[in-house]
Amino acid sequence: MAANDIVAIGDLHPNRDYQAFLDQGRFMLMRDRTTGEPFFYPRIMAPVTGSRDLEWFEPSGRGTVYAVTIVHRRPPTPNHNVVLVDLAEGPRLMSRVEGLTPEDVKIGMAVQARVAQVDGKGVLLFDPAPAEERAA
């Protein structure tokens, strides 16, 4: 694997390859090499342009909460949040913010990606960003 964390794509299986990265603890995005435009979710071609000149790269993991809902569960199952996060690189995705009570997850909050291992599979989650990044 290249030192700059860019993986040129040969025989591409978007969903399987993305999950394999997560299972290794790595969050990887796909981008169009001709335009540099990143996109989510991974596809066999770039949306809109149809470009097949693609590569995986490791994003900063920084993001901002775009929308949030708290899913109410029957007790004793705790309620949980579901968020849409706008990544610093542009794409938006669904996830969950951990480390806060659901009511404290707010739109506009700075968050940082983390890959957790749940039942042997990698899952992309977010934590509140460290204070110095929130100030930046």
* Nearest residue (CB) to another protein, 12 versus 123: 123
Output DSSP code: residue 97. B
Beta-ladder partners of 62? 112
Tell the smallest beta-carbon distance from residue 122 to another protein (Å): 10
* Nearest residue (CB) to another protein, 46 versus 68: 68
Tell the smallest beta-carbon distance from residue 20 to another protein (Å): 14
Tell the smallest beta-carbon distance from residue 26 to another protein (Å): 16
Tokens matching residue 68: 């949030």
Kindly list the residues in this chain that would bind another protein in the complex (CB under 8 A).
15, 40-41, 66-72, 80, 82, 84, 92-96, 107-108, 118, 123-124
The sign of the CA dihedral 106, 108, 114, 117 is positive
Strands 80-87 and 92-95: antiparallel
* Nearest residue (CB) to another protein, 4 versus 16: 16
Tell the smallest beta-carbon distance from residue 22 to another protein (Å): 10
* Nearest residue (CB) to another protein, 8 versus 20: 20
The secondary structure of 30-92, three-state, reads: EEECCCCCEECCCCCCCCCCCCCCEEEECCCCEEEEEEEEEECCCCCCCCEEEEEEEECCCCE
